[in-house]
Amino acid sequence: MGKIVSQAWEIEDCKKFKEAGIQVYHPNYEVWDKNLFQKICPGKEAYIGRDNWIRRVVDSAEVFGPSYVIPNFVGGVELSKPYGFSTVAEAIASTREGLDFFYVERNHASIYSLVSRTLYNVRNTGRPTFRIFL
């Protein structure tokens, strides 16, 4: 199964990946909070912007299917100094909001790298299945 871990691409680019055999698309998201995204991901913010990044992730489901678009959140970055949240509870609440946005509301299979476990069961079900522990 072809998989790419990458930035969030425009839908036209996603179609090219799909045509090349990519089936699972991991657009790295890093951190959900808008202010932290701007500070922790200055390159992404400067060249693409948070709102465009989100739109690209959501749009890519038209190409790959929502269960095969897996935005990666980087666990712990939302607590990093000097910009991060001051409490773990704040960090979890923010990240949960992001996971809910992608996973619950849009059926994307989001990954939070420290507190989630991913179980691929593609052979048996035809799609990845996931367990998220928060």
Burial class of residue 57, CB neighbours in 10 A (0-12, 13-18, 19+) = buried
Stretch 93-116: mean pLDDT: 67
Joined tokens for residue 93 = 């609440």
The single-letter DSSP state of residue 66 is G
Domain ranges, ordered by start, for the chain: 2-132
Answer for the pair 129, 119: CB distance below 8 angstroms, yes or no: yes
* CA proximity to 105, closest of 57, 44, 64: 57
**Cα atoms in the 13 Å half-sphere on the side-chain side of 28:** 12
25 in Cβ contact with 68 (< 8 Å): yes
**Model confidence pTM above 0.75:** yes
Query: Does residue 112 have a pLDDT over 50?
Result: no
pLDDT digits (tens, 9 = 90+) for 41-51: 999 999 999 99
For the ranges 8-17, 18-27, 101-110, the lowest mean pLDDT is seen at: 101-110
The token pair at 89 is 């509870």
* Strand-pair partners of 5: 26
